[in-house]
Amino acid sequence: MTTRKVLTLTLVRNIADEVLMGLKKRGFGEGKWNGFGGKVEPGETIPQAAARELTEECGLRAHYLTKVGLLDFEFLNDPVIHEVHVFETREYSGTVVETEEMSPKWYKIEDIPFNEMWLDDPIWFPWYLKGGPQFYGYFLYKGFDTILKQELKSTDLP
């Protein structure tokens, strides 16, 4: 039987149009640059989890979160589907700080380090960066270095 693990992923954009990426220092995705996020805890909404994880991982407080996409990840021979809710914030306060989990850095769009990110990121990130409509993505991984199946389409998120 498959189960779903609900996660958030938040991308921060500044007025210079740079994207804040975090180098994950521990746990799932260690050594990869990524947005900020984690598991939704019991009793919180998905946007609340996104806001909490953002603050925990890089110190910023989101004033406004926009839903940009939904990603489902499956790993071959693993019954757990990772359901990742992707948000963007352009309105936030606070100071970017390094945390135990993440080492944050602003990237110009042309410098985003795709070769040190999840393999699926070069597929859906450009869609996000162009400001396209909300997207739905599905990726089936074999291990962490091979994508066996992929899908990316526009959708309307609730």
What is the contact surface with ligand 6U4 in residues (CB under 6 A)? 7-9, 27-29, 34, 37-39, 73, 82, 84, 101, 118, 120-121
CB of 108 to ligand 6U4, least distance (A): 19
CB of 147 to Na ion, least distance (A): 22
> Could you count the other beta carbons within 10 Å of the beta carbon of residue 9?
21
Q: What single letter denotes the amino acid at residue 35?
A: G
Among 11, 20, 22, 38, binds Na ion (CB under 5 A): 38
Q: Cα separations (Å) of 98 from 9, 55, 133, 158?
A: 17, 11, 32, 33
With beta carbons less than 8 A apart as the criterion, state whether 84 and 8 touch.
yes
Burial of 37 from C-beta contacts in 10 A (0-12 / 13-18 / 19+): buried
CB of 112 to ligand 6U4, least distance (A): 12
The closest alpha carbon to 104, from 16, 34, 49, 31, belongs to 34
The closest alpha carbon to 57, from 80, 29, 81, belongs to 29
104 lies in the site for Na ion, by CB under 5 A:
no
| For ligand 6U4, the closer CB: 4 or 15 | 4
Tell me the residue nearest to Na ion as measured from the CB.
38
22 lies in the site for Na ion, by CB under 5 A:
no
CB of 139 to ligand 6U4, least distance (A): 7
* Residues lying near Na ion in the complex (CB under 5 A): 38-39
